[in-house]
Amino acid sequence: MSDENKKGINRRDALKLLGAIPLTGAMHWSPEALERGKHLLQQDDIEPVPATRKFFTAHEDATVRVLVDMIIPHDERSGSATEARVPEFMDYNLNLASERNQVEMHGGLAWLDTECRSRFNANFIKCTDAQRKQLLDDISWPDKAKPEFSHGVQFFNSFRDLTASGFFSSAMGWKDVRYMGNVFNPGWNGCPEEVLQQLGVSYDS
């Protein structure tokens, strides 16, 4: 990957990147499916109970854990995707997903290994960090990717989308973007008088 991305894609930039993801070839996650997985992520200050894999094989799970942490790594602000239990979120949702989504995920992870074996004679998780980043640099940016990497680009777009969905649905993700929710503001004194006058309204009934 490029020099500015050597520590992984900046999580603050991940939200911007998601807006640029093409719909063609993307996985189709229903709101209901995503909601079913959120309970795995909304635990805070509780020691997580190891989840039993239902969708990923052991090898796929190991690959997913490396890949999600390259997308959202641990930094000085908050933890990584694996620390937010994103792989568990993915596994839970994919187990309930459509056959098309399941095939796309299995196929995409297999594509990573096939491409790595072709280039480096090793599966993705056995490659060096520099080798993995070299591959991701070829599929991370749709506008720059070569046509022969179209399948990898489509897979990575969907995978990155699901990674961000899991992370920013978690308590860790909420804190990372400093989401406050509906917080009561006891110091609010209403709309300024000059603005009320401009609008031609008042609090007097």
* Token digits of residue 154: 């489509």
Contact 104, 155 (CB under 8 A): yes
pLDDT at residue 14 in the model: 44
The span from the CA of 79 to the CA of 73, in Å, is 7
Percent of the chain with pLDDT over 70: 71
Asked if residue 9 belongs to a domain, the reply is yes
* Widest Cα–Cα separation across the chain: 78
Average pLDDT over residues 155-173: 88
Domain extent, residue 126, equals 3-199
Give 102's contacts (C-beta < 8 A, 6+ positions apart).
Answer: 55, 94
pLDDT at residue 37 in the model: 56
Asked if residue 204 belongs to a domain, the reply is no
The span from the CA of 68 to the CA of 204, in Å, is 56
Report helix, strand or coil for 26: coil
Asked if residue 205 belongs to a domain, the reply is no
Instruction: Judge whether residue 17 has pLDDT over 50.
Output: no
Considering its fold, how many domains does the chain have in total?
A: 1
Asked if residue 140 belongs to a domain, the reply is yes
The span from the CA of 146 to the CA of 182, in Å, is 45
Asked if residue 184 belongs to a domain, the reply is yes
- Mean pLDDT, rounded, of the chain: 79
The span from the CA of 179 to the CA of 164, in Å, is 15
**Which range has the top average pLDDT, 34-48, 103-117, 168-182?**
103-117
Instruction: Judge whether residue 160 has pLDDT over 50.
Output: yes
Asked if residue 81 belongs to a domain, the reply is yes
Asked if residue 43 belongs to a domain, the reply is yes
pLDDT at residue 33 in the model: 56
pLDDT at residue 26 in the model: 47
For the chain, the helix, strand and coil percentages under 3-state DSSP, each to the nearest 5: 55, 0, 45
pLDDT at residue 196 in the model: 83
Locate tokens 């995409």: which residue? 108
* Token digits of residue 83: 């620390």
Judged by average pLDDT, the poorest of 26-30, 82-86, 101-105 is 26-30
- Smallest CA-to-CA distance from 85 within 33, 56, 44, 54 is with 44
Instruction: Judge whether residue 68 has pLDDT over 80.
Output: yes
